[in-house]
Amino acid sequence: MKFVLFFSITVVLSAAGFIQHSESENTSVDLYADYPINPVDIRHVKINDQFWLPIIKRVQENTIDYAIHKCSEEGRFDNFLIAGGVMDGEVKGHMPFDDTDVYKIIEGACNSLISAPNEKLEILLDSLITIIATGQEADGYLTTWRTINPAKPPADWVKVVEGKRWESLAMSHEFYNAGHLYEAAAVHFLATGKRNFLDIALKNADLMVKTFGPGKIETVPGHQIIETGLIKLYRITHQEKYLQLARYFLDGRGDYVAGRSSFGTYAQDHLPVIEQDEVVGHAVRAMYMYAGMTDIAAIYRDEKYHQAIEKLWENMVYKKMYLTGGIGALHQGEAFGENYDLPNLTAYNETCAAIGSVYWNHRLFMLDGQVKYYDVIERTLYNGLISGLSLDGEKFFYPNALESDGLYKFNQGACTRQSWFDCSCCPTNIIRFVPAIPGLIYSKIADMVYVNLYIGSHAEIDVNGQMLSISQETNYPWDGKIKMSIKSSGQQPITVKLRIPGWARNEVLPGDLYHYTDEEELPVELLINDHEVPISIKEGYLMLTENWSKPVNLMLNLPMQARLVEASQKVVEDRGKLALEYGPVVFAFEEVDNPSIDDIRIGLSSHWSVEKNNDLLDGINILQGLSANNLSVTGIPYYCWSNRGIGKMKVWLPKS
């Protein structure tokens, strides 16, 4: 990391006597303690993966620094200083939630600190936290634009009448700002053991508890995320008041007490949450709300919440999900469309929504251990999520379309990557999310360990007091061979569950929205200490029970080949079209490789070859073949399209 700007901020603040260094304390908080299945968090997983490690490093070494530079340029830090009265001026920026970019950068930097301790970075984070503290009001209130001038929002769509706190809650984003503050502060506390950021969050949360609830201001957040944030504060402090407020904010949706007007389907406020069974409205709001509902289902063992999230999930995955895992089809309202309404050229698929979907699916998995949630996570990770970041780490997709005509534009730029956005939620969400990916690989329950993603890594997992070490070596997703070495420190049997991905079980996604055109059951192979063993796949997993007291070497071979995918006929947009995949990776066809892209027609019997090319786009699998009308066709992984200029692109090609 370059830290150039970090250092200049630190110098300025040190000179002003601003920086307060915070002491560390030991912390062993488990943020998901109430779930039956627990993730093996990033403190215990080191990755050395040839696919993900360069992406994580790109975020650590380029994107964080770049985003801090942009935030500085756009006055995100100044707003805290202006709010605190140590700098003069009006609010800067364009959005009422600009503060959250700073929180999300800190959260991502903290996740990266856990895997790669860095004292300088910690000191620099202390300086950012000091800046944030400057903008907090004495009673804990923290939304800088409102403190600077409550009558003058940075965006004209925040309607102000009296110019005071908590006005226009549907759009003021005061709860959203608080939610990201809590999420980031929780991770900072876990990463550093310091309370400086956590104390800011708790002071703000205490104000929320004092202000909102039965007999106080009775309302719900306009943009959800405070719910999961409050629950993290509850898990750290064990103070029930934070959990109760989170539950109140969820229970209160669709319940218009005291004449509160509804925020409508846009903000999932049209019905009580436990009666909702279709994913509607703003997709990011929806993901964060469902994640909060899943927390409530886990903590309270609440069956009504549990049933509602299952129905919502089935609706999303069976009827409203793109092949890339993208969700939220419509630009209008950044929202889900009707069932099966999945346009390609105008697909919105906000990067933040894909990230939110992974957060939600991860919680669903922790609740009941079903493989289907990881099938969604994997498809999203390798396709419609990581597409949000360019190969240089300094350009971004906000919408992730499945087709480009090289012209189409919307306010956040659909047909090419952008260097930044007035609404910069997506770049900073990438920063927040990517360094935490190692925490998605392994999970455990009782004497059982799940290996859900194939990512080169080493994990030390405490299983009832025995340490199980698992190492993975693999070129996944470029080929399907995974070498594993497993060893336990004790003698008690431990069951290791290896996930067989949906694509290797002949299932594109759970449900029947997409299917492979061939019905081939491709053989999965497993070698134990070099001997092939018979296998049986149960509910998507291979189960191996051993005492592992001597090191065991496994070789799992997941059979990858180029496969054609067809969408359900109900998806009008994809009728008469085919897409191509290899393992978990969806291909895109760009004009730069396919000059006659509009003429390509492919047949069911076309022959496709896939080869690794280390020189193109940082090293990718390239798909090649002949179309039915004899044009040579070249595909690249969808996630890395638009790294070679503007041009046409398709995921779905017409069938001959």
Nearer to Zn ion, 412 or 621 (CB): 412
Contacts to Zn ion from residues 322-351, by CB under 5 A = 350
- CA-wise closest residue to 451 among 462, 440, 437, 460: 440
Nearer to Zn ion, 425 or 562 (CB): 425
In angstroms, give the least distance from the CB of 61 to Zn ion. 22
- CA-wise closest residue to 631 among 607, 599, 653, 591: 599
Contacts to Zn ion from residues 171-210, by CB under 5 A = none
Nearer to Zn ion, 243 or 352 (CB): 352
In angstroms, give the least distance from the CB of 498 to Zn ion. 34
Nearer to Zn ion, 352 or 366 (CB): 352
Q: Give the CB-nearest residue to Zn ion.
A: 352
Pick from 426, 440, 486, 567: which binds Zn ion (CB under 5 A)? Answer: 426
Nearer to Zn ion, 6 or 348 (CB): 348
Contacts to Zn ion from residues 544-583, by CB under 5 A = none
Measure the CA–CA gap between 242 and 219, rounded to whole angstroms.
Answer: 16
Measure the CA–CA gap between 464 and 490, rounded to whole angstroms.
Answer: 10
Measure the CA–CA gap between 401 and 415, rounded to whole angstroms.
Answer: 8
In angstroms, give the least distance from the CB of 355 to Zn ion. 8
> Does residue 425 interact with Zn ion by CB under 5 A?
yes
The count of residues interacting with Zn ion (CB under 5 A) is 4
Q: Which runs of E-coded beta strand occur in 489-551?
A: 494-499, 514-516, 525-528, 531-532, 537-538, 541-546
In angstroms, give the least distance from the CB of 324 to Zn ion. 16
Nearer to Zn ion, 56 or 426 (CB): 426
Helical H segments across 380-423, by residue range: none
In angstroms, give the least distance from the CB of 428 to Zn ion. 8
Nearer to Zn ion, 252 or 328 (CB): 328
Phi, psi of 341 (to 5 degrees): -90, 95
Listing DSSP states for 361-387 in one string gives HHHHHHHH--HHHHHHHHHIIIIIIGG
Nearer to Zn ion, 130 or 424 (CB): 424
Nearer to Zn ion, 352 or 436 (CB): 352
Measure the CA–CA gap between 307 and 237, rounded to whole angstroms.
Answer: 29
Measure the CA–CA gap between 586 and 597, rounded to whole angstroms.
Answer: 17
In angstroms, give the least distance from the CB of 286 to Zn ion. 13
Measure the CA–CA gap between 487 and 464, rounded to whole angstroms.
Answer: 15
Contact region with Zn ion (CB under 5 A), list: 270-278, 330-338, 420-428, 575-583 = 420-428
Taking CA atoms, 178 is separated from 101, 502, 531, in Å, by: 12, 37, 55
Nearer to Zn ion, 348 or 454 (CB): 348
Contacts to Zn ion from residues 206-265, by CB under 5 A = none
In angstroms, give the least distance from the CB of 186 to Zn ion. 21
Query: How far is C-alpha 349 from the geometric centre of its chain's CA atoms?
Result: 13
Beta bridge partners, 76, equal none
**What tokens appear for 101 in the block?**
């970019």
In angstroms, give the least distance from the CB of 426 to Zn ion. 4
Rg (alpha carbons) of the chain, rounded to whole number? 24
Torsion of CA 127, 133, 135, 141, to 10 degrees: 150
In angstroms, give the least distance from the CB of 398 to Zn ion. 6
In angstroms, give the least distance from the CB of 638 to Zn ion. 19
CB 456 within 8 A of CB 515: no
CB 22 within 8 A of CB 430: no
In angstroms, give the least distance from the CB of 256 to Zn ion. 29
Measure the CA–CA gap between 601 and 633, rounded to whole angstroms.
Answer: 10
Contact region with Zn ion (CB under 5 A), list: 95-103, 124-132, 241-249, 426-434 = 426-434
Nearer to Zn ion, 419 or 569 (CB): 419
Name the DSSP class of 509: S
Binding characters for Zn ion, 68-107, by CB under 5 A (x = yes): ----------------------------------------
Binding characters for Zn ion, 352-371, by CB under 5 A (x = yes): x-------------------
Nearer to Zn ion, 288 or 374 (CB): 288
Measure the CA–CA gap between 325 and 321, rounded to whole angstroms.
Answer: 6
Nearer to Zn ion, 350 or 590 (CB): 350
In angstroms, give the least distance from the CB of 623 to Zn ion. 30
Element holding 156 (H helix, E strand): none
Nearer to Zn ion, 348 or 587 (CB): 348
In angstroms, give the least distance from the CB of 348 to Zn ion. 10
Q: Please list, in sequence order, all residues whose beta carbon lies within 8 angstroms of the beta carbon of residue 313, skipping any fewer than 6 positions away.
A: 290, 360, 361, 364
Sheet strands side by side (includes 537-538): 38-39, 442-445, 448-451, 494-499, 541-546, 537-538
- CA-wise closest residue to 153 among 136, 172, 174: 172
In angstroms, give the least distance from the CB of 352 to Zn ion. 3
Query: How far is C-alpha 117 from the geometric centre of its chain's CA atoms?
Result: 23
- Judged by the rule CB under 5 A, the positions of this chain that interact with Zn ion are 350, 352, 425-426
